[in-house]
Structure 1
Amino acid sequence: MSHLMQDIAVFFDDSDLGQSILETGAHLARDQNARLIGLASNEKNDATPEDGFARGEGIVDVIRRLESSSESHLLHASQSLANVAGRYGVTAEFRVIPYFGSDIDMQLNSFYSDLLLVGYPEALGTPFAWSSIKALQQTGVPILIVPRAWNGRAIARRITVAWNASRQARRAVADAFPLLLAAEAVDLLIVDPERRAERYGEDPGADMAAYLSRHGVQVNLRRASSQGRPVAETIVAHALEMNSDLIVFGAYSHSRISEAVLGGVSRTLLAEVPLPLFVSY
């Protein structure tokens, strides 16, 4: 059985930031020997204030111009995907998702991928009502959130795994396994293990570190004290100190609430992305 990802999807557009996200996806696809699926919405709104005053035949002209703009946008996006795939030597597929599409469109284009990449704070190329939380909840496909400042650099060489011995954290480890195996170093980080000592056993984190090591992961067990700081801040500080280029964590939510409210750590990490985040649900 292969321990590499097979299909990596990325939302992008033909903007500079969109191209940066695409570059990151191609880099990861090459490292994983995966197929790169480029996803783009068909909406490129180049409307002007004057368009709102169009009447009669003028309305038809505006519609034609906007349709032409959308077609041009998608053509440039598809060409960008082909160019990037060629440079990185990966197989690529281009898909268009309706900008005002349904959740079904999102699911059909996410279900059959191992990972979905998206930019932050601008999720370029995504449908109108798209959100990372909704995608996680509806598909279960892990998402890799790439911040604007990352600029297409390589990721997943040095990984920090935020471990709290929860179901969500265990799911994240399982989903990220192909990346963990390929990484040069993985830090299994536990913040304030004494707070919930019953979760970890006598030697907090040792069992999971041993599990990862037996499967071939180059893992280092780290324990850190928050010293009164928020846990998310402690995780980020450790990741930056260790020159990590990816944080892996499991998003936590209260199942009793119909529209899930994320736990404090998840909410902070997702809202303040300083480096790429691999989030599983």
Structure 2
Amino acid sequence: MKPQFHLPLITYPSASSLSVVQNAVDLARHQKADLTASVLQIKTPLVGQSSPWVDDVERLSSQAKRFSRDSGVALSEAVCDYANKADIRAVIQTFEASEPLIPDTLVEISRAYDLSIVEASETMMPLLENLLFESGRPLVLFPANHVCSRIDTVAIAWDGSAPLSTALTGARLFLESASKIILISITNEAPMNEKARDRYANVLRNSGLDVEVVVARANGEEVAVAIQSAARALHADLLVAGAYGHSKMRELVLGGVTRSLLADLEMPVLVAH
């Protein structure tokens, strides 16, 4: 069964970057996956609400729609160009939606695919949170201006939690093809369940994988920073982590470590909730 990756792209108020398009194509190539890009163009921009003192709302709306349309064309062309050069199958879906409905539309689309690929930027953060908590699928997040490489070593931010178990299920494709797995625990967090960690390490070893267990100290750093520092020092290409948070009246509230991780991403991370 060939993996099916999803690339949600936005076109307003800022367009998704070409960097995330390149990373998505490279990731699909390395994992022998197909890629579907969903390009969401705005139907009804909220220019009137953001600029109530401007009389010419119709003109601003027209400009916003034109920017969205032009951005969509440029992103679609980039997907086709990169995919052709990488020799992967890429499909482009173009949709129109009113600005407030774009996150819900992309969440619904994302549920059909194995994972979604998103750039962890300020522009994408509201959409990222919706996808993370409502799509039921894992996300692979890339820092801005990151260049995707083959994923040979996978680090796991081990805490024994249910969200991590969900992330590990979504990361199975990457674990199976990895040359090495590293379980990283941070010692100054809550008491560590070493038996559960070692049990999982043995399960991976019994599956034929090379597994290393690493215990690291935060040394005054935020936990998210310490985990990424340890993973990068061990030359990991991907970090797998569980995401914490809850939804109340459709307002997403992230756990502290999760928010810190998303806000200061230094390497590709697969997260799920």
Tell me which interval the TM-score lies in, with the shorter structure as reference length.
Answer: 0.7 to 0.9
Structure 2-normalised TM-score? Answer: 0.81
2: CA distance between counterparts of 1:244 and 1:83? Answer: 29
Look up the match of 1:35: 34
1: CA distance between counterparts of 2:70 and 2:255? Answer: 42
1:200 has 2:199 as partner: no
Deviations 1:4-43 (A, max 9, x none): 6x21111346899721111111111112221111122214
Deviations 1:223-250 (A, max 9, x none): 2233454322221210121122221100
Look up the match of 1:145: 141
1:114 has 2:106 as partner: no
Instruction: Confirm or deny: 8 A CA contact 2:108 2:135 kept in the other structure.
Output: no
Deviations 1:89-140 (A, max 9, x none): 111111224251525412331111111111121446x9xxx42222222111
Larger displacement relative to structure 2 (8-17 or 269-278): 8-17
Instruction: Confirm or deny: 8 A CA contact 1:189 1:221 kept in the other structure.
Output: yes
Larger displacement relative to structure 2 (67-76 or 205-214): 67-76
Look up the match of 1:88: 86
Aligned residue for 1:149, secondary structure, equals coil
2:164 to 169, 173, 197: 169
1: CA distance between counterparts of 2:15 and 2:99? Answer: 23
Larger displacement relative to structure 2 (168-177 or 155-164): 155-164
- Displacement of 1:254: 5.3
Deviations 1:56-98 (A, max 9, x none): xxx67x7666555543332222222111111111111112242
Look up the match of 2:177: 182
Gaps of 5+ in 1: none
Gaps of 5+ in 2: none
Structure 1-normalised TM-score? Answer: 0.79
Instruction: Write the letter of the residue equivalent to 1:274.
Output: E
Bigger share in strand? 2
Percent identity between matched residues is 23
Instruction: Confirm or deny: 8 A CA contact 1:189 1:222 kept in the other structure.
Output: yes
After superposition, the CA RMSD in angstroms is 3.2
Larger displacement relative to structure 2 (6-15 or 75-84): 6-15
| Matches for 1:63-102 after TM superposition, within 5 Å | 67-97=65-95, 98=97, 100=99, 102=101
Aligned length: 262
Change (3 A) 1:241 1:268: same
Change (3 A) 1:155 1:268: farther
Instruction: Confirm or deny: 8 A CA contact 1:107 1:139 kept in the other structure.
Output: yes
Tell which structure's C-alpha radius of gyration is larger: 1
